Amino acid sequence: MVYPISKRIAWFVFSLFTKRLEGLENLPPPPAILVANHESDIDGLLLYFLVTKHTNQKVFPIVTDERATNWFGDWLVHYFGGARVHSGAVAKCVDALKDGKYVLIFPEGQRTWTGKIEACAATGTGVIAILSKVLVVPVKVKTYSFYSRYMKHPSWKKEIEISFGKPQTFKGKVKAGRVDKSDAKKVIAKVMKSVSGL
């Protein structure tokens, strides 16, 4: 189910504080992987509601354990049809892509401390891209000045910017169902370089 609130209320509220939205035409039909930088607590919901609003397609978000680790956080993950990073997320992402969904991933794993894109040590995103062979869309969000980790509440100013880059495809060595780790790292590096350039 694609939630009606995503089209009628939530994105409308976010749009009030969005000053720039570019590249929506770069969103291919699902399945596809959306790879974004992470600046704020609102990034996941922001992109979830934006994509469902404009495509009417299902989004499978991957959530880290940085925040919302209580029962309410677990309920939210379940409600939005996603998965936590540690709970067999790679296999779940591949299955979601096979089911024709968008998969939304923040490879940095946590919100930036400085407002700049940080190094990505995890290789999961690269593994998923290589195994699934679907299009990968770089997405850049600028929400740091709107609601960074240092702020108790949002600024409520029209400061949000979102850019979607051109889709990419990646190949890598796979042996006995396992992706070569160095190839997965190369994928991450290339995608995040594309995100940074948006």
Least confident of 6-15, 60-69, 136-145, 173-182: 60-69
- Closest to 171 in 3D by CA, of 123, 118, 134, 122: 134
- Closest to 135 in 3D by CA, of 54, 194, 48: 194
Check residue 130 and give its pLDDT: 95
The rounded distance, in Å, linking the Cα atoms of 30 and 21 is 20
Range of the domain at 29: 4-196
Per residue in 119-169, pLDDT (tens digit) is 887 889 999 999 999 999 999 999 999 999 999 999 999 899 999 999 999
How many angstroms separate the Cα of 66 from the Cα of each of 73, 86, 94? 11, 12, 23
Angle (nearest 5°) at CA 165 between 161 and 169: 150
pTM: 0.90
The rounded distance, in Å, linking the Cα atoms of 58 and 55 is 9
User: Across 72-76, 169-173, 189-193, which has the greatest mean pLDDT?
Assistant: 189-193
The token pair that represents 77 in the structure block: 């993950």
CATH of the domain at 36: 3.40.1130.10
Per residue in 11-47, pLDDT (tens digit) is 788 889 999 999 999 999 999 999 999 999 899 889 9
Check residue 83 and give its pLDDT: 62
Per residue in 88-129, pLDDT (tens digit) is 788 889 999 999 999 999 999 889 999 999 888 788 999 999
- Closest to 183 in 3D by CA, of 197, 194, 172, 198: 172
| pLDDT band, very low/low/confident/very high, at 76 (cuts 50, 70, 90) | low
Check residue 1 and give its pLDDT: 47
Encode 9-26: b = buried (16+ Cβ within 10 Å), e = exposed: ebbeebeebbeeeebeee
* Residue 171, pLDDT above cutoff 80: yes
Check residue 88 and give its pLDDT: 74
Check residue 135 and give its pLDDT: 98
Higher pLDDT, residue 106 or 82 = 106
Number of domains composing the chain: 1
Check residue 115 and give its pLDDT: 93
The rounded distance, in Å, linking the Cα atoms of 7 and 9 is 6
* Residue 86, pLDDT above cutoff 80: no
- Closest to 163 in 3D by CA, of 191, 181, 138: 138
Check residue 77 and give its pLDDT: 61
